């Protein structure tokens, strides 16, 4: 699985003119299931993201996790993280999981983030979404379970 996480002051996702998910201080998590991914990869990302110390402590150092600051998360499916751009100029997405598998893993991942005690909202799988955010830092980190 691949994730792009952004430390945010706020983030929201709009579908058909309606805000369907938002978070305050915390993380915007863009997530993509790749071919062959299972719940094991989702669990690995959940564990890493929940404990990743990328929030400032009292001395201004990145030393606190989203759990430590009682932050919230907005989880958005993002199949374009699977883009293969090396065979021409139009991205290919053949490495992404099939839509049914991707949706199942997206839902599982979102539920597991919430199970960590993180207030979690999400986008809508497969929808055309408008995502807004105020990146804090900016801090943006790429995670890929195949690159451990």
Please list the active-site residues. Answer: 78-80
Label residue 147 by pLDDT band (50, 70, 90): confident
Domain ranges of the chain: 2-131
pTM for this predicted structure: 0.96
By the 10 Å C-beta count (0-12 exposed, 13-18 middle, 19+ buried), 7 is classed as buried
Q: How many CB atoms lie within 10 A of CB 4?
A: 17
Please tell me the distance from the alpha carbon of residue 21 to that of residue 82, in angstroms, as a whole number.
23
pLDDT tens digits, one per residue of 10-48: 999 999 999 999 999 999 999 999 999 999 999 999 999
pLDDT digits (tens, 9 = 90+) for 72-111: 999 999 999 999 999 889 999 999 999 999 999 999 999 9
Of 65, 75, 67, 69, give the one whose Cα is nearest residue 29.
Answer: 75
Question: Which CATH code for domain 2-131?
Answer: 3.50.80.10
Token couple for 106: 């997206």
Strands 2-15 and 130-144: antiparallel
């Amino acid at each position: 699985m691949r994730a792009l996480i952004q430390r945010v002051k706020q983030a929201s996702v709009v579908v058909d003119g309606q805000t369907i998910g938002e978070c305050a201080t915390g993380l915007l998590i863009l997530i993509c299931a790749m071919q062959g991914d299972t719940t094991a990869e989702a669990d690995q990302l959940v564990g890493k993201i929940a404990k990743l110390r990328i929030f400032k402590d009292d001395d201004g150092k990145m030393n606190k996790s989203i759990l430590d600051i009682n932050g919230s998360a907005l989880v958005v499916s993002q199949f374009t993280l699977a883009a293969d751009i090396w065979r021409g100029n139009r991205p290919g997405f053949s490495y992404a999981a099939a839509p049914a598998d991707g949706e199942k893993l997206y839902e599982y991942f979102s539920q597991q983030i919430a199970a960590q005690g993180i207030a979690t909202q999400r986008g809508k799988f497969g929808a055309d979404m408008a995502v807004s955010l105020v990146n804090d830092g900016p801090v943006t980190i790429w995670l890929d379970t195949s690159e451990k």
